[in-house]
Amino acid sequence: MSRIARQHIWWLLCLLLAAGFSEAPAADQHGTAKWEPEIRAFEASDRTNPPSKHGILFVGSSSIRLWKTLAKDFPGARVINRGFGGSRIADSTALAERIIFPYEPRTIVFYAGDNDLAEGRTPEQVAADYQAFVQTVRARLPETRIAFISIKPSPIRWHLREKIESANRQIAAMKGDGLVFIDSYSAMLGADGKPRQEMFAADRLHMNEKGYQLWTQLVKAQLDL
């Protein structure tokens, strides 16, 4: 093989590699590609059964995804569930164009941060990520009310309680029109200062029916629903 032919092959390989990198899914830029099946399922559902706009959007991690009784818990309200399990605060920010903005919600009820701390992020990073989420939403939906449900005291993650409490304090301290902090953490502790076991499922991470009943009461009280 001639030297010129080898050079041609070399440049062809370089072009193919460059094309491969340029065609990587956009979601990969934010580390959100693993959520694609769930996000595409939301979009498919929207095409066949478009939800009403200007309702109450529940978004965040698995504690939102598993809230299957939203319609019953908030009768008369236009509720949309766009929780995706295992997600972190930054995931909802990165995917806002697909799971928040299309619905133009008048209120967002947000829960995340639990997984963030479990994966090693600091309370300061969690608070900063939430601030970024708020700024992203505010840029497009300046009138939308945003309610953050505090990170819950799951028994299996009780060893993270100091970090959970710190992150909750920092987020609760954020001020601004339309920002609401819903303190579920305190309400889910017993008289002994430990998690109320009766609120949690067998995995000691997620909530059971009693846990969601409590959250429903707290959300209704804070948002006057």
Q: pLDDT per residue over 141-197, tens digit each?
A: 999 999 999 999 999 999 999 999 999 999 999 999 999 999 999 999 999 999 999
Q: How much is the pLDDT for 5?
A: 46
Q: How much is the pLDDT for 32?
A: 76
Q: Angle at CA 66, nearest 5°, toward 163 and 37? A: 100
Q: How much is the pLDDT for 41?
A: 95
User: What does DSSP say about strands 179-182 and 107-111: parallel, antiparallel, or unpaired?
Assistant: unpaired
- Is the pLDDT assigned to residue 25 strictly greater than 90? no
Q: How much is the pLDDT for 224?
A: 85
What six digits make up the tokens of 126?
Answer: 């969690």
Residue ranges and CATH numbers for the domains of the chain are: 31-223 (3.40.50.1110)
